[in-house]
Structure 1
Amino acid sequence: MRTKREKKLITKYWWFGGAGAMLLGSGLAVLLHGSKLKETNTDPWFWISTGGFALIMTGLGFIGDANRFRTLADVLRELDARAQP
């Protein structure tokens, strides 16, 4: 049985992981769009590509936070199991 604290960490894991995956995929799409704009010599290609790169890095940060929440939940479960006689 999961404790309330562990459920909260698992919920954060799913939210941050899902948001991170969505941002990462969106960033890749925007970055590729900026690359296509560069090929056609369109003016704002640099800023669009920079925005795509920022989305990618933000998504990776969210995925890293999700990993942290999952690790904390696993450590909490292990500590609770050790406390039980």
Structure 2
Amino acid sequence: MRTPNEKKLIAKYWWMGGSGAMLLGSGLAVLLHGSKMKEVNEDPWFWVSTGGFALIMSGLSFIGDANRFRTMADVLQELDRREKLPKH
């Protein structure tokens, strides 16, 4: 059974991980769109591609934070498990 703190961390993990995956995928799509714009010589291709890179980096940052929340939840669970072990 998870403690309330662990549940909060796991919820943050799912929200940040899902948001990060969405941003990462959106960034890839925008970056590819910018690449196609460059091929046909459309003017704002540079800014569209730059926006795509920004979305990708934001997504990676969110995924990194999600990993941190999951690790913190696992550490709390391990500490709770160790407290319940019989002492020698």
TM-score (norm 1): 0.99
Partner of residue 27, structure 2 = 27
- Structure 2: give runs of 5+ residues left out of the alignment: none
Is 2:11 the partner of 1:11? yes
User: Following superposition, which runs of at least 4 residues in structure 1 exceed 2 angstroms of deviation?
Assistant: none
Q: CA deviation at 1:45?
A: 0.1
Q: CA deviation at 1:6?
A: 0.2
**Matched ranges for 1:43-82 at <5 A:** 43-82=43-82
Superposition RMSD in Å: 0.5
SS in 1 for 2:43: coil
Query: Which protein has the larger Cα radius of gyration, Structure 1 or Structure 2?
Result: 2
The residue identity in structure 2 corresponding to 1:34 is: G
Q: What is the count of residue pairs matched by the alignment?
A: 85
User: Identity over the aligned pairs, expressed in percent?
Assistant: 80
CA distance in 1, matches of 2:70, 2:2: 13
Q: CA deviation at 1:7?
A: 0.1
CA distance in 2, matches of 1:20, 1:76: 24
Q: CA deviation at 1:84?
A: 1.0
TM-score (norm 2): 0.95
